[in-house]
Amino acid sequence: MNDTATLPDQETMYEALVRRDTSFEGVFFAAIRTTGIFCRPSCSARKPKPENVEYFPDTKTAIANGYRACKICHPMLDLGATPEWLQPLMEEVEQDATIRLQAEDLKQRGLDPVRVRRWFQKLHGMTFTSYLRMRRINQAFGQIRHKTPVTDAAFQSGYESLSGFGDGFKKTLGSAPAKSSDQQVITVTRLLTPLGPMLAGATEQGICLLEFADRPMLETQLNRLHKRMNAKTLPGDSPFFAQLDKQLEDYFAGKRTDFDLPLITPGTEFQQKVWAALRTIPFGITRSYAEQAKSIGQPTAVRAVARANGDNRISILIPCHRVIGADGKLTGYGGGLWRKKRLLEIEGCGSQL
């Protein structure tokens, strides 16, 4: 096995492989000696005996050792990537926010409607039909916010009747189109990274959410945003997403040390102070929770600072991963300690840990 210092023990990895544990995605790849292939931890293929498994920290090392990628779990693709069979449909959807497609339309495109629905349920937590409907509502909401008459917004968003539009709008946002001026929509999308997919959220003012999609507290964070911003989350596109995606790509490639996107961070006064302090920690530097508490002028508030760090909703851009224990050990990270370790390694802090 290669680079064992960066991997969990073999017993832990084998148990994760047997359980098909998605929380170990990005931590290791399992190579099967008897077949010559390597897989993700969550691969659905039949499991080998433990003595027939070799573990690697990345796909490059597995390939260098003579293994080829599994055709079931496709370990060479970023986790959460759109499969090849679905890419033409997604390109069509991304180009037209008003598109309406039924089961027969999918069949005409050579797609199985059940397969499409299952993929959307798994990746987005909703059916394909719901996904399209919410994108249309999101577009209409934006138009109404910019003074487009409700009737025009309805028909321009692909609706064939005002009553159908009004019912769908109220069901999704909780108010009639003409009474939605006090509401906000947080547009969300999934971005692929080497450490797994992330859910990004944006308003017209800036980025308000960036969390790993498998974070256990993600639903709680979304609910808090809804309450603080009087907002609903809807799938769609934002001009900030392309910038965010490019800046994250550069960061993971070692070409970027800071970010320059506008951030929206609703929270208490104390949380705001803690999050602002996080943004002052330089790239490549770590700080203890005690040092962070001192930096905001409240040296006894170590536990409160740790809680506020945990409530940070904009991972990486607000670098809560740079805060570690006083003894130099990694502690508390909503995206998983293995991700915290990888982020610090990207920033050149690996030798400090």
**Of 27, 10, 77, nearest in space to 341 by CA:** 27
Element (H, E) at 338: helix 337-346
Catalytic residue among 39, 43, 73, 208: 39
Task: Please name the residues in contact with 258: beta carbons below 8 A apart, sequence gap of 6 or more.
Answer: 283
In 236-317, where do the E strands start and end? 287-288
Please count the other Cβ atoms lying within 10 Å of the Cβ belonging to residue 212.
Answer: 20
How many angstroms separate the CA atoms of 67 and 89, rounded? 32
Is 73 an active-site residue? no
70, 73, 320, 349: which one is catalytic? 320
Paired tokens of 162: 């005002």
Going by C-beta distance under 8 Å and a sequence separation of 6 or more, which residues neighbour residue 85?
111
Rounded CA separation 153/179 (Å): 14
Asked whether the beta carbons of 28 and 8 are under 8 A apart, the reply is yes
If DSSP codes are grouped into helix, strand and coil, which group holds residue 105? helix
Q: Is residue 39 flagged as an active site residue?
A: yes
SS3 percent helix, strand, coil of the chain, rounded to 5, is: 45, 10, 40
User: What positions carry a catalytic annotation?
Assistant: 39, 320
